[in-house]
Amino acid sequence: MSAANNKALGTWFSLAAGALGLAALVLYLVWAPGHNALDPVIPWTLAAGILLEGILYFRDISFLGVAATACFSTAFFILLSRSVGTFVDAMQGIVMFGDASQLGIILTLCALMFLSILLSILSCFVKRRK
């Protein structure tokens, strides 16, 4: 309890970023293998980001926050890159380059990851300790 007492807004942003990253990781691992969409870089970078945000709860090392942003950003952009075909199909209303039926889950993952990045960046700007 006392450990939490000296935490400032930045820590809570970090934790929230980690939590959203975790949600994205779980969702991705549940979804991707069944849809031929598993890119190992995505879960590994998400896991690394979550770990770094976790460490930041205990140790206020600014570089770790930056590294966490980098991890989440990597996962996010790789997911986008891999989903180009799905976006094209969805926009054209066809089934060819990707799997437009999976667009909903891909957008959900993107939203979770993007929020993680946003919170991670915000946590870098504000104090983590009172």
Partner 1 sequence: MGKRIWAGLSSIFCFFLCFAIIGNSTAMNYATTINGYLGISTHMLVQDDSVGEGSTIQFPSAFGELSADNLKQLMEATYAQCVAEGNEGMVLLRNENRALPLSPEERSVTLFGHAVMQPLYRNNSAGSSAYSSKEGIDLFGAMKEAGFRVNEALLKAYRKSKTSRAGGGVNAQTGEPLPWSLGEEKIGFYTDDLRATWENDYNDAAIVLFAREGGEGIELTMKDTEGISQLALHQDEKDLLRMIRDSGKFKKTIVLLNSGNPMELGWLEEYGVDACLWIGCPGQKGFISVANLLTGAANPSGRLPDTYAANSLSAPASVNNSGNNQTWSNLEEVLKQSTDTPGEASYYAVQAEGIYVGYKYYETRYEDAVLGRFNADSAAGSTNGGKWNYTAEVTYPFGYGLSYTTFEQTLDKVEVSDSAVTVTVTVANTGDTAGKSVVQVYAQTPYGAYEQKNRVEKSAVQLLDFDKTKLLEPGEKQTLTIVCDKYLLASYDYTNLKGYYLSEGDHYVAIGESAHDALNNILALKGASGMVDTAGAPTQGSGDKAFVWQEKQDADRYKASAATGAPVTNRFDDCDLNYWIPGAVTYLSRSDWEGTYPVSPTRVECTDAMIRALNGYLYRKAENAPGLASFTQGANTGMQLAGLYGVAYGEEAIWEEFLNQLTIDELAALLPDMDGNAAIDTIGKPEVKVGDGPDGIGGLYNTYDKSRYKTKSEATCYTCETTLAATFNKELIASRGALMAEEAIYLGLMEIWSPGGNLHRTPFGGRNFEYYSEDAVMNYLCSIPEVRAMEEKGVVAGIKHCAGNDQENNRIGIALFFNEQAFREGALRGFEGALAVAKGSSVMQGFNRLGLTGCSASPALNTAVIRNEWGMQGIIITDATSSVTTGYRASYVDQLMAGTDSFCIDFSGVSAQVVRDRIRDTDDGALLGALRRAAKNNLYCTVNSPAMNGYSVNTKIVSITPWWQPVLRYVIIGFAALTALSLIGLAAAEIKEHGKKRKEADLHVGSKQ
CA dihedral 112, 116, 117, 118 (to 10 degrees): 100
User: Distance (Å, rounded) from C-alpha 39 to C-alpha 91?
Assistant: 24
How many amino acids of this chain bind partner 1 (CB under 8 A)? 45
Is residue 66 within the footprint of partner 1 (CB under 8 A)?
yes
**Binding residue (CB under 8 A) for partner 1 from 48, 90, 112, 113:** 90
1, 3, 36, 130: residue in contact with partner 1 (rule CB under 8 A) = 36
Residue 61 token pair = 């090392």
Is residue 100 involved in binding partner 1 (CB under 8 A)?
Answer: yes
Residues 69/117, Cβ–Cβ less than 8 Å = yes
Q: Which is nearer to partner 1, 25 or 123 (CB)?
A: 123
C-beta closer to partner 1: residue 1 or 42: 42
